Structure 1
Amino acid sequence: MIGAMQTGPQHHHNQSKPSRPSPNPSSSGVPPRVPVTSAHMNKPLPAPAANQHRTHPLHPSPPPQNYGFGPPPSQPVRNRPQPSSRPPRSPNPPLAVPDDDPQQLFPLFRAANTSHTGSLTEMELGSALVNGDFTSFHPKTVKMMIRIFDRNSSKTISFDEFVSLWRYLAAWRELFDRFDVDRSGRISLQEFENALLAFGYRLSQPFVTVLFTTFESKGRQRNGPAHPAKMGMSFDLFVQACISLRRMTDVFKRYDDDRDGYITVSFEEFLTEILQLQD
């Protein structure tokens, strides 16, 4: 169980409903947090082979031959060495999954909407999103969800947007489960590398380590020294890492007109893109 949200014991969007304890009558009335399980959690999920590319809305097919694995340029610009990796095609995340009743999510939405405005602020959404170990989502991941699903630029999430967000995270959770081979609820460095290979990224081991450490360390920073974090990347940080890599890939592709894995940008263009990626 890796993704979780705060929800009532009698409402759950999955067809298989795990047993839950009854709420405490003396509690504040806010539904307890329970892990959200994948539809496939009742049976083992085989991890994709490193050279196997599955068809998945969040799991892109291999890059085309003329981009990613094609031959290097005949005349490398400024004597740059031949690259060991090229950007793959970016995944297109799904916004819906079939056969779910959106109204089952309304008690969860209402409990998080403490302002009673009908839309969730960033703080309210953050209070509803928790990992399988009941740690809160990293604030940057919450901000990412609002940026992706806020359709009217209100910086809040309506109920319809929340339903799409829930389903989006459910699809990510299914993918997370496939690569969490040891069922630890965390993604190790090797599991992360396997995921990137399955996405079509052929990155050097040093860079994969840097990328993994950059996001995995946020879990330790979030918990602080008093509560040591578990080793590995939590679900929310896995999502954050993959979305960030996708955004960086998309920025690169905007400048790589001939899809040869090289770009030339001005200093100000570079700074502009870096600043926009900080959102």
Structure 2
Amino acid sequence: MAYQNSQYGGYGGPGGFSSGMAQAGPPPGADPQLWTWFAAVDTDRSGAISAIELERALINGDWTPFDLDTVKLLMGMFDVDRSGTIGFNEFCGLWKYIKDWQNVFRHFDRDRSGTIDRNELRDALSRFGYNLSPPLIKLIQVKYASTVASHYGPTPGITFDRFVRACVVIKQLSGAFQNLDTDNDGWVQISYDQFMQTVLSLP
């Protein structure tokens, strides 16, 4: 039976969780429930979780799987030893991170639609300290919308996984800009090569 952690995201997926364990039991002091989830996601019993295994396990509130690019972004953030997989301790950090973001998502999803619309996105980014222009907010919403926008009707909302990804990318880009803006005047003068190196070096 698949496990749905909350309305906005959690662990579960097609076929549900296996009852097998990657190891005989949890490490000393480990949360037994987290260990059970980790073992269920570790389908090949390797003792570590790959991006594909994690993608199969993470779901949004509408039971759609997490976007693979978002999964890879999260993997890169928590793969401390750069092994290309995450072990149990790294998994625990990832789990807490997702839980924290679920609370953020709930707070800004004021209409309880399960997605973030443009006004909710603007409010969220403003609360995070990013006062972006309306055209930039629209660009972000279109880029991270859960489905491709049509010529008719409102732009689709942003699901939980894409909301996390959008916020992380904006934080990374803003940090990269601040590193280049040495005099803190909001402007930078860099060559095209420097700009491309900065953007392409981001996870």
Deviation by residue 1:46-79 (Cα, 9 ceiling, x = unmatched):
xxxxxxxxxxxxxxxxxxxxxxxxxxxxxxxxxx
Equivalence for 2:163: 238
| Counterpart check, 1:174 vs 2:103 | yes
Is the 8 Å Cα contact of residues 115 and 160 (structure 2) preserved in structure 1? yes
Deviation by residue 1:7-65 (Cα, 9 ceiling, x = unmatched):
9xxxxxxxxxxxxxxxxxxxx67359xxxxxxxxxxxxxxxxxxxxxxxxxxxxxxxxx
Distance in 2 separating the partners of 1:137 and 1:176: 15
Which residue of the other structure, out of 262, 270, 276, is the alignment partner of 2:187? 262
- Give the C-alpha shift of residue 231 in structure 1: 3.2
Distance in 2 separating the partners of 1:103 and 1:258: 50
- Secondary structure of 1:130's counterpart equals strand
- Higher mean Cα deviation, 102-111 or 155-164? 102-111
Equivalence for 1:220: 147
Q: Which segments of structure 1 move beyond 2 Å, counting only runs of 4 or more? A: 28-32
User: Structure 2 length as normaliser, TM-score?
Assistant: 0.83
Is the 8 Å Cα contact of residues 31 and 108 (structure 1) preserved in structure 2? no
Aligned Cα root-mean-square deviation (Å): 2.1
Bigger radius of gyration, 1 or 2? 1
| Counterpart check, 1:247 vs 2:172 | yes
Structure with the bigger RCO (C-alpha within 8 Å, sep 6+) is 1
Q: Which amino acid aligns with 1:232?
A: G
Distance in 2 separating the partners of 1:184 and 1:208: 19
Distance in 1 separating the partners of 2:34 and 2:18: 12
Distance in 1 separating the partners of 2:83 and 2:34: 21
Q: Which amino acid aligns with 1:179?
A: F
| Counterpart check, 1:136 vs 2:65 | yes
Q: Which amino acid aligns with 1:177?
A: R
- Give the C-alpha shift of residue 103 in structure 1: 2.2
Distance in 2 separating the partners of 1:186 and 1:111: 28
Deviation by residue 1:163-202 (Cα, 9 ceiling, x = unmatched):
1101001101101100000111111111101111111221
Distance in 1 separating the partners of 2:137 and 2:193: 27
Alignment of 1:103-142 (within 5 A): 103-142=32-71
Gaps of 5+ in 1: 8-27, 33-100, 222-229
Identity %: 36
Is the 8 Å Cα contact of residues 55 and 65 (structure 2) preserved in structure 1? yes
- Secondary structure of 1:220's counterpart equals coil
Distance in 2 separating the partners of 1:202 and 1:171: 22
Distance in 1 separating the partners of 2:31 and 2:75: 19
Distance in 2 separating the partners of 1:178 and 1:31: 33
Equivalence for 1:207: 136
Change (3 A) 1:137 1:177: same
Distance in 2 separating the partners of 1:125 and 1:157: 9
Q: Which amino acid aligns with 2:35?
A: F
Which residue of the other structure, out of 7, 10, 19, is the alignment partner of 1:4? 10
- Secondary structure of 1:241's counterpart equals helix
